[in-house]
Amino acid sequence: MIHFSFFINHLFISEKQTIHIVNTNFIKVDNIFRLRSYHFALFRLLFVTYDTKKIGSYGLDRSDLMNERKIRILQSKSTLAANHPVNHFVSIVRRVRNSVVSLIIKKKPRIEAFYDAVWSQLFTENEHDSYQFGSGFIVHPKGYILTNDHVIEQADKIGVKVEGVKKIFLAEPLLREPEKDLAILKIHPSRPLKSIALDSSSDVELGEWVIAIGNPFGLEQTVTTGIISGKNRPLQAGKRVYPRVLQTDAAINPGNSGGPLINMLGKVIGINTLIIFPSQSISFAIPINEAKPLLDKIKDE
């Protein structure tokens, strides 16, 4: 059985109203939990196929013509569906997903333990260790990753899973800005990685569509969608002040922290960071422009 525990802080909206702000990265795992059993469930797929036959120039009756017409209509609808604007989401996700990474953070000295055959390349199971999930995204082909500082601030070890790469990388915190809740990690890949493009968060409009990709509850490469619900929201979570976060109704959960919020151009406009708990569809992302001064320090690499 899995128990979830969150870092809960208070945001004082007024003298009479208090809501809870939750950093979206911490999960406590009781007993042994294997991601692989979660990820690779067996599904049965049923394929509908058409057994077409050659039709001559004669010998057709009305039923034959109607059947042929039905097939053509179905094919036409399928073609229209493939070109439907909604499927623009599919092309964006295909383009950016290899740039989104999953993080697992080894911490001490909690009692809960986590074990998985993949992650055990880096981590040895210990009853006194605790682990948390997080997300990040590649901002430079040489292995630079942007994430939230609160994801890695108490890390003993940081494991990074890159989509399409079997190896689990051990990351080192390279640059940190705790006051902005931003951090850059460095891994050492054997080949250049695919980085994701950044946009300007100052151009974000209310109501525009966005995509969140991350590692909620250890479910790697989870994709959710929503819109921009608000801009320039001032929030405080614990000692950290977030002066102008983006608000979205895209589903963001523990483990999403540090992952990208992406616009319809396939570019990052924010770093998923906070949720209000309890709430429905109220999540917050640090505008990507807040991270650009930190990213400038690695642009010459």
Active-site choice (130, 150, 195, 201)? 150
- Average pLDDT, stretch 172-189? 97
More confident residue, 42 or 226: 226
Please count the other Cβ atoms lying within 10 Å of the Cβ belonging to residue 61.
Answer: 7
Which has the minimum average pLDDT: 50-54, 200-204, 261-265?
50-54
> Could you tell me how many residues make up the chain?
301
Is pLDDT above 80 for 170?
Answer: yes
Question: Is 156 among the catalytic positions?
Answer: no
Is pLDDT above 90 for 104?
Answer: yes
- Average pLDDT, stretch 2-16? 36
For position 276, what pLDDT does the model report? Answer: 86
CATH class of 201-298: mainly beta
Active-site choice (102, 135, 181, 229)? 181
Question: Coil, strand or helix: which one is 33?
Answer: coil
Domain ranges of the chain: 201-298
Q: Is 278 exposed, middle or buried (0-12, 13-18, 19+ CB in 10 A)?
A: exposed
Full 3-state SS string of 149-186: HHHHCCCCEEEEEECCCCCEEEEEEEEEEHHHCEEEEE
More confident residue, 140 or 237: 140
More confident residue, 26 or 41: 26
Tell me, yes or no, if the pTM score tops 0.95.
no
Average pLDDT over all residues of the chain? 75
Closest CA to 151 of 221, 101, 84, 222: 101
Is pLDDT above 80 for 38?
Answer: no
Question: Is 150 among the catalytic positions?
Answer: yes
For position 124, what pLDDT does the model report? Answer: 53
For position 39, what pLDDT does the model report? Answer: 33
User: How far is the C-alpha of 252 from the C-alpha of 222, rounded, in Å?
Assistant: 10
Task: Give yes or no for a contact between 245 and 290, defined as CB atoms under 8 angstroms apart.
Answer: no
Active-site choice (130, 201, 257, 283)? 257
With a pLDDT cut of 70, the percent of the chain lying above it is 64
Is pLDDT above 90 for 59?
Answer: no
Which has the minimum average pLDDT: 66-70, 136-140, 233-237?
66-70
For position 108, what pLDDT does the model report? Answer: 65
- Average pLDDT, stretch 227-233? 97
Question: Is 64 among the catalytic positions?
Answer: no
Cβ neighbors of 118 (< 8 A, separation 6 or more) are 35, 36, 161, 168
Full 3-state SS string of 226-242: EEEEEEEEEEEECCEEE
Task: Give yes or no for a contact between 189 and 165, defined as CB atoms under 8 angstroms apart.
Answer: yes
